[in-house]
Amino acid sequence: MAGLNDNALATVNEVKRFLGIIGGSSDDDDVIEEIINGNSTLFESYCNCKFTASDYTEYHSKKNYDSGKLFLKKTPINSVASIYEDSDRAFGESTLISSSDYGVVDELYVEYYDTSFSRGMNTIKITYNAGHSTIPSDISSACIMESSRLFKRRKEIDISAKSLPDGSASMFTGSFLPQVTETLKKYKILAIG
């Protein structure tokens, strides 16, 4: 067992409980783990966000002088460790912006108070923490449902219909279950820049 990734949105035991599996083999655990890891990465990619809190460093460019807002690639923004503004891009201590000169607004962007960032290419360096400190329960539930579906369908991955004793049945073949897609849409962030 390689282990769950840091961005895992569910546990093996949660998926097994949802499936009604008591005990089970370590091979099943390995497969469930791989499915959870894959779904967690797919969910983040679909939503363009991290669900688990992580540290990031980004470089930004400003095209005009009238913007004191800095929209970062990851949200929700939990904290900002540092912002440097340096036209030479050396980002030494003398280019560090005081933390009292900016703040995080609604966990969505950073605002530079009473002034604006200078125009230039990659002249702003920001180090920050973003993501959820606790995985939202609806996201975790969606990962459990989607991982359970894939685990149950793992041996029938390319079958779209099946003949059953009481008639035939069509199988869902979409990317995500409809209720999972609806949950993910609530967290989807449009890419900036």
- List, for residues 128-172, the tens digit of each pLDDT value: 999 888 999 999 999 999 999 999 988 766 555 555 666 655 544
Tell me: do 42 and 96 sit in the same domain. no
pLDDT for 77 equals: 93
Distances (CA, A) of 153 to 138, 146, 159, 160: 22, 11, 9, 11
Amino acid at 83: I
Tell me: do 141 and 125 sit in the same domain. no
Tell me: do 100 and 140 sit in the same domain. no
Q: How far is it, in rounded angstroms, from Cα 118 to Cα 120?
A: 6
Tell me: do 141 and 47 sit in the same domain. yes
**For residue 38, which of 158, 160, 183, 176 has the smallest C-alpha distance?**
176
Tell me: do 145 and 181 sit in the same domain. yes
**Structural domain total, the chain:** 2
Q: What's the pLDDT tens digit per position in 50-98?
A: 888 989 999 998 876 657 889 898 888 999 999 999 999 999 999 999 9
Q: Which two tokens stand for residue 24?
A: 């089970």
pLDDT for 167 equals: 61
Tell me: do 147 and 104 sit in the same domain. no
Tell me: do 81 and 141 sit in the same domain. no
- Give the number of other Cβ atoms within 10 Å of residue 101's Cβ: 13
Domain of residue 37 covers 1-52+134-156+170-193
